[in-house]
Amino acid sequence: MGLTGLESYFWLAQRPRPIRAQASVAGIVVTAEAWPVQYVWTFGDGTDRATNGPGRRWTRKRPGTIAHTYEKDRRYRVLVEVIWEARWRFGAGPWRHLGYFSNSDSRGYRVREILPVLVAR
């Protein structure tokens, strides 16, 4: 849960790892590789942010790396899209660019507003 007016920190619990696959037919080997190149965060309040990494959680010794400040008390849908770059090659031949693809996931995130109240003693 987050609080209005204070930074909320976001990160992926598991860092995406590069993917490598090989297939062979009649002695010809084809290799494909893909790795994450960008993360696009959608915070649910109309704000997006692109980063080069999956984020780091906040601790007292190390601050988080992906912060967002919400201004309204409500439930938000936070989404992250991971953009991957891929390449392939025949045998030991040159690498050829295969393109980009993405996958995404989202979670609900509750933000509450806390108001200070002055009281006479």
The 8-class DSSP code of residue 27 comes to T
Q: How many CB atoms lie within 10 A of CB 43?
A: 20
| pLDDT the model gives residue 51 | 97
Q: Judge contact between 67 and 8, C-beta under 8 A.
A: yes
pLDDT per position as a tens digit, 43-87: 999 999 999 999 999 999 999 999 999 999 999 999 999 999 999
- Band (pLDDT 50/70/90 cuts) for residue 103 is very high
CATH topology of domain 2-112: Immunoglobulin-like (2.60.40)
Give which of 108, 116, 103 is closest to 16, Cα–Cα.
103
| pLDDT the model gives residue 41 | 98
| pLDDT the model gives residue 69 | 97
pLDDT at 30 over 90: yes
* pTM of the shown model: 0.86
| pLDDT the model gives residue 29 | 94
pLDDT at 116 over 90: no
Percent of the chain at pLDDT exceeding 90: 88
Average pLDDT score over the chain: 95
Q: Judge contact between 63 and 55, C-beta under 8 A.
A: no
| pLDDT the model gives residue 121 | 82
Question: Scanning the structure block, which residue is given the tokens 């980009």?
Answer: 100
